[in-house]
A = this chain, B = another copy of it.
């Protein structure tokens, strides 16, 4: 008899823009069809208002903890040499699932800490293989003036729970084109092995593609005829297909929740990286192009196939939602910002349970999403930020004006009121539980009361 709790396979792409996939208006338009991901979307719920954080580290933190990254000191990109990432005190989705009997594994990019006590096996994963920083670090050793005595040379790692993780070979430009093949092979092997088990499993696959340097595997090099980025999108679609095939071949499709999403918008300062679709902005800004990405959930027999919803959903919401579905215990000793979206995704209600979201970049509250509106408190142009007061802010209707061009603040000052209420609720939670600073090791006294 198979276990009752569903398996969870969570694929997280690195920097896929809203407009890159076929099912989101990209695909053939971008010279890179994505038939496998499109098919996955058509088999479940496809979200068109799926909200992530503006960068890699905070998005991964929000996903695994259900908490705004500003609370856990993870609201900025974790750089080599920093004691950054998740404080061991944080409770991740992997810990929650592990506590109720799940096998857990991660293959791919961590980017939530790279110092002792902050690796995946410190955060609930039984096993892992991958890298701790970002793929662009693979460029560094070839950079003019780079000094390996002073700066980190990135490596691949592997580890098992209860053991110290092991440093493997260097992750350099030569290794770059082969990362996805290994991530996928390890994921497929894991699925095959654990499909036989009585234990349910949680497999987290944070892919390394299509993040720069977007170097395709030799099997995909020049395959699209549209350059490296299109080639790696073909590869990412193929790798996704390999994971999906493994699930099907292991006959666990019906009892496996499959999630596919991207961590943040495209990094377009490199020409021809991802496309943000109809939205303004890219990675690192508070525009929709940064924080709205593809997001889809398949659960055969539970989630209606072919459903498309523009209801607001945040990457934060997976934490309490999955906990609720499988009976995991959400911590009550800290603020949790994710909301339980179970009834929404299962179609018991049309509306989602979220109607607002705070958007931070590093230590700054940049914008507030509320219903159809976006209130920008500070300017986040590609070139950097400039501080403005609330009443100087811009207000956009992000349904009528996807490109955030027409400031409607002057005749919509009423929007200040709900915005102020949302911020006040957040501020109250911070005064009860002060935000942790990046790399902070001691918990504030308030947490122990």
Residues of A within 8 A of B (CB): 19, 22, 24-31, 48-49, 226-227, 229-230, 268, 271-272, 275-278, 308-310, 372, 397, 399-403, 405-406, 408
Interface centre among A24, A309, A401 (most CB of B within 10 A): A401
Whether A275 pairs with B402 at a CB distance below 8 angstroms is yes
20 A-B residue pairs with Cβ-Cβ distance under 8 Å, sorted by A, are: A19-B25, A19-B278, A22-B308, A24-B25, A25-B278, A26-B278, A28-B48, A29-B48, A29-B399, A29-B402, A30-B402, A31-B400, A226-B372, A227-B400, A268-B405, A271-B401, A272-B400, A272-B406, A275-B403, A277-B278
A48 nearest CB neighbor, chain B only = B29
How many copies of this chain does the complex contain? 2
Whether B29 pairs with A310 at a CB distance below 8 angstroms is yes
A119 to B400 CA separation, bound complex (whole angstroms)? 36
Contact of A401 among B272, B308, B405 (CB under 8 A): B272
Q: Which residues of B contact A372 (CB under 8 A)?
A: 31, 226
Q: Which residues of B contact A310 (CB under 8 A)?
A: 28-29, 31
Q: Which residues of B contact A405 (CB under 8 A)?
A: 268, 271
Q: Which residues of B contact A22 (CB under 8 A)?
A: 308
A31 nearest CB neighbor, chain B only = B399
Whether A226 pairs with B399 at a CB distance below 8 angstroms is yes
Whether B272 pairs with A397 at a CB distance below 8 angstroms is yes
A374 to chain B, nearest CB (A): 14
Whether B278 pairs with A400 at a CB distance below 8 angstroms is no
A22 to chain B, nearest CB (A): 8
Whether B271 pairs with A30 at a CB distance below 8 angstroms is no
A310 nearest CB neighbor, chain B only = B28
A339 to chain B, nearest CB (A): 21
A303 to B268 CA separation, bound complex (whole angstroms)? 37
A230 nearest CB neighbor, chain B only = B400
A17 nearest CB neighbor, chain B only = B278
A267 to chain B, nearest CB (A): 13
Whether A28 pairs with B402 at a CB distance below 8 angstroms is no
A27 nearest CB neighbor, chain B only = B308
A111 to B312 CA separation, bound complex (whole angstroms)? 42
A165 to chain B, nearest CB (A): 38
A24 to B27 CA separation, bound complex (whole angstroms)? 12
A408 nearest CB neighbor, chain B only = B271
Whether A28 pairs with B226 at a CB distance below 8 angstroms is no
A101 to B308 CA separation, bound complex (whole angstroms)? 45
A403 nearest CB neighbor, chain B only = B275
Q: Which residues of B contact A277 (CB under 8 A)?
A: 25, 277-278
Interface centre among A27, A272, A277, A400 (most CB of B within 10 A): A400
A38 to B176 CA separation, bound complex (whole angstroms)? 40
A268 to B22 CA separation, bound complex (whole angstroms)? 26
Q: Which residues of B contact A48 (CB under 8 A)?
A: 28-29
Nearest 10 A/B pairs, CB to CB: A25-B25, A272-B400, A271-B406, A28-B310, A31-B399, A19-B278, A29-B48, A277-B278, A226-B399, A29-B310
A76 to chain B, nearest CB (A): 27
A29 to B46 CA separation, bound complex (whole angstroms)? 12
A222 to chain B, nearest CB (A): 14
Whether A308 pairs with B25 at a CB distance below 8 angstroms is no
Q: Which residues of B contact A268 (CB under 8 A)?
A: 405
Whether B400 pairs with A30 at a CB distance below 8 angstroms is yes
Besides A271-B401, A276-B278, 20 more A-B contacts (Cβ < 8 Å) are A25-B278, A27-B308, A28-B48, A28-B308, A28-B309, A29-B48, A30-B399, A30-B400, A31-B310, A31-B372, A31-B399, A226-B372, A226-B400, A227-B397, A227-B400, A271-B408, A272-B397, A275-B278, A277-B277, A278-B278
A225 to chain B, nearest CB (A): 9
A285 to chain B, nearest CB (A): 15
A238 to chain B, nearest CB (A): 19
Q: Which residues of B contact A276 (CB under 8 A)?
A: 278
